[in-house]
Amino acid sequence: MDRTTLQDTLYPQCPIRNILSRLGDKWSLLTLYTLEHGGTLRFGALQRAMPDISQKMLTATLRTLEEDGLVSRRVYPEIPPRVEYALTGRALSLLPHLDALIGWATEHADAILRDRREAKTRGN
């Protein structure tokens, strides 16, 4: 299922496939995390905070998060136009779960990376 798919065709009511497939990509959670810690940010500030994301991918990620009601986009009628991104109430309700996942990953990262190296040396 790609990031533009609205529902999984085989399991259209499955929340894991329909919601987490869009959140679980490489950039969505990092974008939410960055907005959590940076507050309302302009596109350029977001991109500087995540220097390894391309402009095209950040645009697609923000569009997806906006479609899912997790990020709000506010355009100011200025020249040049100013656009700001912020977390919505829905995203704020997700943050405790995201923070718990980050905490778990931090707590177990060393052991997981060690297990991966060991598995690789065993030839698995």
Q: What is the pTM of this model?
A: 0.80
Output the DSSP codes for 10-72: S-TT-HIIIIIHHHTSTTHHHHHHHHHHH-SEEHHHHHHHSTTS-HHHHHHHHHHHHHTTSEE
Report which of 98, 121, 107, 28 is spatially closest to residue 66, judged by C-alpha positions: 28
Residue 1 pLDDT: 42
Q: What is the mean pLDDT of residues 62-81?
A: 94
Residue 81 pLDDT: 86
Extract the tokens encoding 88: 């919505």
What CATH number does the domain located at 15-91 have? 1.10.10.10
The pLDDT tens digits for 5-21 are 555 566 667 777 778 88
The pLDDT tens digits for 21-30 are 888 888 999 9
